[in-house]
Amino acid sequence: AKANPMGKGLGASPGAACGKIVFTAEDAKEWASRGEKVVLVRLETSPEDIEGMKAAQGILTVRGGMTSHAAVVARGMGKCCVSGCGAINMDEANKQFTLAGKTYHEGDWMSLDGSTGNIYDGAMPTVDANVGGDFGRIMAWADKFRRLKVRTNADTPADAARARSLGAQGIGLCRTEHMFFEADRIAAVREMILADTKEQREKALAKILPMQQGDFEAMYKALEGKPMTVRYLDPPLHEFVPHVDMKEEIDELAKNLGITSEEVIHKINALHESNPMMGHRGCRLAVTYPEIAEMQTRAVLQAAIDVTRECGYNIVPEIMIPLVGSKKELAFVKSIVDETAKKVFEEQGMTLEYHVGTMIEIPRAAVTADEIAEEAEFFSFGTNDLTQMTFGFSRDDAGKFLGAYYDNKIFESDPFARLDTDGVGKLVQMAAKLGRQTRPNLKLGICGEHGGDPSSVMFCHKVGLNYVSCSPFRVPIARLAAAHAAILEKMGK
Ligand code: PEP
Ligand code: MG
């Protein structure tokens, strides 16, 4: 059927969705529990929306780019998402919006195409994805030719299992902060973030440890011995701290921390950052609060030991430190990992081989990759942040102005979706070369969203990376692109 879209946003997470419009995560959950198909329409999403996103067929946001919260989380879930449709005039209070001159109310039907970003009026029929038959045969051919390994970005046991079924050879990025989006878990993380003292923080961490360890165990089991890179906490604070007007959450936090709600609000205000994407996140968190890295090391290693004992897999944990910009920063966090590992091995009466590596996602890390490789056993290029920081384009806000760049032929494509090989790619290539000068067997991968974009995958092949890691539903595309790259190379092209 041919249909004319009524609007367009960014194709943030592939797939098709069709459902009735709802405006809040609670409504999405409630309507879905009655058997309704819904599309969740939000200005932007935050961790509070996760349950609603799960319940919806698809997600549409007014704000945000290709690597904003809605986009990254939806891709991880394998859920259709169109983000950054700035043409929508939103009226949340009255549960309605206008687009292309028409007003849409709660309950009206709409359809989304998460690949093109097209938005359609009314209900369009959709079919479920399937990787069997001829498709499976073509994938098997692709696998024969490719040199690049294809891993997936997955944060839950369910995602890990699905990614395996789509042909992923392991997990290249487990974003541990994504393991805490659920309501009962996010409370403990908020407690940790807002803790004043080491004791308070350790109390919150003690709640988090068993959840984290349990998830890692389930993921190691789902992977059946295939590798997993666990990325230590990297929460941009604005995505985790509740808004000061969220009374229920604030009161609960106050109770858990043993302080008044006013004091919680005061703390939240004090934590406010002008630019959270460049704020207190990534390894900066472990530098200020080493106990967080200690807890995560315990969770990874104890889970690996338990599953090795139970299932006999040869698990070699890969621990990845995010947002590193200097060798000393990495050395500091690595020493916490190593000291904790020693303790865990003594307690358990067993040792495991494990590797500590880093993400290369800050330009300084790329420029000093030869030094960083003295500490890092592997690199994974975080091209979402590397693109953000190389261009100086905020991941959360670029959607607002990039349109003018396409219109004026300054850019042909979104650099957050297709790797800017001339600039960001040059940094990748340079860091790969410098890193291998120091450590010839340095393992190199990419885990930014570009890892699932065909032209970017071909670039990764050319510059000699070992693997790409992308969201689960893009694994087949990455397998195919990796084969293309290998075949073209053979043909001398
Ligand atoms: C990246 O920056 O490319 C990355 C994979 O990490 P995140 O998107 O979680 O910042
Ligand atoms: Mg990053």
Tens-place pLDDT, residues 456-465: 999 999 999 9
Tokens matching residue 417: 């979706």
Ligand closest to CA 450: 1
- Give the rounded distance of the alpha carbon of 29 from its chain centre: 23
pLDDT tens by residue, 396-440 = 889 889 999 999 999 999 999 999 999 999 999 999 999 999 999
387 lines ligand 1 (CB under 6 A): no
Catalytic residue among 80, 174, 283, 447: 447
> Ligand 1 pocket: which of 447, 450, 469, 474 to mutate (most atoms <8 Å of CB)?
447
Which atom of ligand 1 is nearest to 361's Cα?
Answer: 2
> Ligand 1 pocket: which of 384, 387, 418 to mutate (most atoms <8 Å of CB)?
384
Nearest CA to ligand 1 atom 1: 382
CB-CB contact of 42 with 21 (8 Å): no
Mean pLDDT, residues 260-281:
90
pLDDT tens by residue, 141-190 = 999 999 999 999 999 888 888 878 888 999 999 999 888 887 778 888 88
Tokens matching residue 30: 């409630």
Mean pLDDT, residues 252-270:
89
Distance 448 CA to ligand 1 centre (A): 5
Q: Return the pLDDT at 212.
A: 94
pLDDT at 1 over 60: no
Mean pLDDT, residues 349-378:
98
pLDDT at 473 over 90: no
252 lines ligand 1 (CB under 6 A): no
- Helix, strand, coil shares of the chain, percent, nearest 5, are 50, 15, 35
Q: How confident is residue 132, by pLDDT bands cut at 50, 70 and 90?
A: confident
Q: Return the pLDDT at 2.
A: 66
Distance 91 CA to ligand 2 centre (A): 32
Q: Return the pLDDT at 437.
A: 98
pLDDT tens by residue, 62-75 = 998 888 888 888 98
CB-CB contact of 160 with 169 (8 Å): no
pLDDT at 258 over 90: no
pLDDT at 131 over 80: no
Active-site residue flag, 447: yes
What's the whole-model pTM score? 0.86
User: Among 44-48, 288-292, 372-376, which range has the highest average pLDDT?
Assistant: 372-376
Q: How many CB atoms sit inside 10 A of residue 397's CB? A: 15
Q: Return the pLDDT at 165.
A: 83
Distance 278 CA to ligand 2 centre (A): 10
Mean pLDDT, residues 368-389:
98
Which protein residues have a CB closer than 5 Å to ligand 2 (ion)? Answer: 361, 382, 385
Q: Return the pLDDT at 69.
A: 87
CA 25/CA 43 separation, integer angstroms? 12
Distance 322 CA to ligand 2 centre (A): 7
